[in-house]
Chains A and B, each alone.
Chain A
Amino acid sequence: MQLLLEQALNGLQFGVTLLLMASGLTLVFGIMNLINLAHGSLFMVGAYVGATVAAYSHSFLLAVAAGMAAAAMTGMLMELLIMRRLYPREHLDQVLATFGLILFFNELVTIVWGRQPLSMPVPDWLSGAVEILPGVPYPTYRVAVLVVGIAVAVFLYLLVMQSRLGMRIRAGAANRDMINALGVNIVVLYTLVFGLGAALAGLAGVMAAPFMAVQAGMGENILILTFVVIIIGGIGSIRGAVIGALLVGVVDTLGQAYLPALFRLWLAPAAADSAGTALATMAIYVVMAGVLAIRPQGLFGARTA
């Protein structure tokens, strides 16, 4: 029971990381109608810059700020130079061009930081454990990630649903020609939204860095999971991204933890482990296929764009 609680929290915490990625990507999807494969590269930039700053300054907060800033700058530069020209193009062209960006960024970090993966330690003041229930310790850092993720989700909700900027963003998603005709500077709005999404991806990168090896290509694995989140939730829907992220995070984590054990009930241990691991890595894709088979536009998607 204690293990289940821990695993469920791990799943939520992974889901929160996915949410940071997914909210930016789904906004770009929904508003600019752009498939950005290079969103994972922004995650990677955040992780690399964060890990480097942390290694030199020994300050975690500085690392987070630097990672977010670097990702936001990279993102806005990307938007100004390339993405802007891709909005009216076919999805196919967008896939190819952003694929080119991935190749570029993966080689760039290899040239700058080398092929050896970096690692980022958990900061001292977050390295302990807290008792979430009497007698159930849980790593403080993971709690911190969970709290930051929830805070960002609330902030995004307020920004998108309550602020003037958010109103424009939603209007842009609904009908971009109309909002342009009404005198809102859609060009600046797009760059801002892109930068916001990039900063969130950078934040996700820095916060995930202590859990994973910081290396070229690290962004792509999480990118594909992020796509699964967005597709399950429905493109352009923040609410869908929240539900999708938590669903994918929990299903993936619990699957990895329990499926091998479950298979041992009727299979030999070796066979059970390999079948369980295989099914655990496939589980979220099965969930996604199931959702799409019933609701092709995702759980909260309005359009079948």
Chain B
Amino acid sequence: MRLLLLVALPLALALVPPAARLLDNVYLITLVRQALIYALAAMALDFIMGYGRLVSFGHAAFFGLGAYTVGILGTHYMQDLALLFGWAGSNEALLAWPLAMAISGAYALLVGLISLRTSGIYFIMITLAFAQMVYYLFVSLSAYGGLTGLSLWLPNTIAGFDLLADGLYFYYLCLTLLLLAWWLLARIVASRFGQVLQGCRQNERRMRALGYRTYGYKLTAFVISGAVTGLAGALLANHAGYVSPGLMHWSMSGELIIIVLLGGLSSLIGPIYGAIILLLLEQLLTTITPYWQIILGPILILVVLLFKGGLYGTLTRRGSQA
């Protein structure tokens, strides 16, 4: 069952565009592409939440910072407006996306330095507070659209080529990056570093007694997670064509947690399922009623009460221990 779930998923996702063409429903590609991007962010969250027991309720900040990096660079480039030292921004993905990761990662470093001194409920709440800080900062930045946000005039170019304008290329790029991130994060989890991280999840005091500086390990994991979430944000900016502070709202952090838990904690691949389930649920429920969240809410409660370990955990009969 587990192997099937692991192999079938990339294959099914790769077949989405041809299937959409067959069904004459190109909108489906855009829809699943959005799920892939959310899955990337949620996977980064699962990396620290599932393996390090670091329940971050503020990942929306890293998501939004990544998106705004692309948005702000692009706006300056289009208007030929000096951004820093006379540099007028850029519309180049090879520059903007790593920068998005760097900025989100740097903010994660700052947040982690303070938040990781705490644990449990305090950690949940302080990460939330740091995300709200960034949210309010961007709401009040009238130069970049304030509450309405920024429109991207054109998607990023890749090495000068206008690839993202073609929805198909963009879809496969998102899929490639997602699978790459999965492979990379799975390698990290399996490495010595990942083992120490999981040791902290089970018993941090014991890890410290064994001589590990757990703070450094957790901080590194937090920064990696923040940077990957920033990349997802950069993709989302290109996907949606605009960025707004709504990306950093605390309900976005909640949505990412929902995706991880729906799919299954401590699995990395679970969030991909989670993102697709949430997307399908949303599409399905909106056809029933415009007030679809009145159904989604109780569904979430039932998932918590009945299906421990999410979909992936339930199907593989491997309840999460975290």
Spell out A's residues near B (CB within 8 Å). Answer: 29, 35, 82, 85-86, 89-93, 95-97, 99-108, 110-111, 220, 224, 227-228, 230-231, 235, 274, 277-278, 281-282, 285-286, 288-289, 292-293, 296-298, 304-305
Contact = CB atoms under 8 A, between A and B. Distances in A.
Given A231-B126, A292-B117, A277 B291 contact: no
Contacts of A278: 136-137, 140-141
B114 A293 contact: yes
In the complex, the 8 A-B pairs of residues with the closest C-beta atoms, listed nearest first = A100-B300, A104-B297, A103-B297, A107-B294, A281-B136, A278-B140, A103-B293, A100-B297
Nearest to A86: B304
A29 B121 contact: yes
A305 B122 CA distance: 8
B228 to A, nearest CB: 20
- For B141, B261, B308, the residue with the greatest tally of chain A CB atoms inside 10 Å of its CB is B261
Interface stretch (B79-87, B157-165, B168-176, B250-258): B250-258
Contacts of B133: 282, 285-286
Contact of B291 (A97, A100, A110, A297): A110
17 contacts: A92-B257, A96-B261, A97-B301, A99-B300, A100-B297, A107-B293, A107-B294, A111-B294, A224-B132, A281-B140, A282-B133, A285-B133, A288-B126, A288-B129, A292-B118, A293-B114, A304-B119
A108 B128 contact: no
Nearest to B110: A289
Contact of A228 (B118, B129, B143): B129
Contacts of A296: 117-118, 122
Nearest to B134: A282
A277 B121 CA distance: 29
Contacts of B258: 96, 99
Contacts of B250: 220, 224
A282 to B, nearest CB: 5
B128 A101 contact: no
A95 B257 contact: yes
Interface in B279-322: 291-294, 296-301, 303-305, 308, 322
A35 B124 contact: yes
B interface: dominant SS: helix
Contacts of A298: 122
Contact of A91 (B118, B120, B128, B141): B120
Contact of B140 (A107, A231, A274): A274
B177 interface: no
Given A29-B121, A274-B142, A278-B141, A103 B132 contact: no
A235 B132 CA distance: 20
B126 A101 contact: no
A293 B321 CA distance: 30
B300 A297 contact: no
Given A95-B55, A95-B257, A103-B293, A292 B114 contact: yes
Interface in B166-217: none
B273 interface: no
A35 B121 contact: yes
A44 to B, nearest CB: 14
A107 B305 contact: no
B55 A304 contact: no
Contacts of A289: 114, 126, 129-130
B40 interface: no
B60 to A, nearest CB: 13
A282 B136 contact: yes
B57 interface: yes
Contacts of B128: 224, 227
A103 B294 contact: yes
A89 B303 CA distance: 13
A95 B258 CA distance: 9
Contacts of A220: 250-251
Given A235-B121, A304-B120, A92 B49 contact: yes
B277 interface: no
Contacts of A281: 136-137, 139-140
A235 B122 contact: yes
Interface string B49-77: 10000010100000000000000000000
A35 B136 CA distance: 24
B136 A297 contact: no
Contacts of A96: 257-258, 261, 300, 303-304
B265 interface: yes
- For A35, A92, A108, the residue with the greatest tally of chain B CB atoms inside 10 Å of its CB is A92
B271 to A, nearest CB: 14
B235 to A, nearest CB: 25
Contacts of B291: 107, 110-111
